[in-house]
Amino acid sequence: MEFVVEHGHPCLPGHFPGRPLVPGVVVLDHVLAAIEAVHGPLGPLRLPQVKFANPLLPGEAASIEIEGAAPRWRFRVLRGVTLVASGEVALA
């Protein structure tokens, strides 16, 4: 799954003035949407491990790689070949 957070997205003002970055929570929202697109609604979740390695800027394309199956998935978010974020999502 690929996504782009456009420059006009409401999450960007104030995050950060003069150099906007896509907030980590928005990146994670796309990860959860990618998992639910394949596995359906998940219900309560935990994020036992999440690491943000590099920033994602508005207008940049990112791809999501998902491995695993319920009750635990591993994910990677990439901007080209650059790692943006990685971690695990688990059913609560």
Q: Measured on CA atoms in the order 24, 29, 32, 37, is the torsion positive or negative?
A: negative
pLDDT score of 16: 85
Stretches in the chain below the pLDDT threshold 70: none
pLDDT score of 8: 92
pLDDT score of 80: 97
pLDDT score of 5: 97
pLDDT score of 52: 98
pLDDT score of 84: 98
d(CA 11, CA 45): 22
H-assigned helices in 1-92? 24-39
Q: Which of 19, 33, 24 is nearest to 84 (CA)?
A: 24
pLDDT score of 17: 82
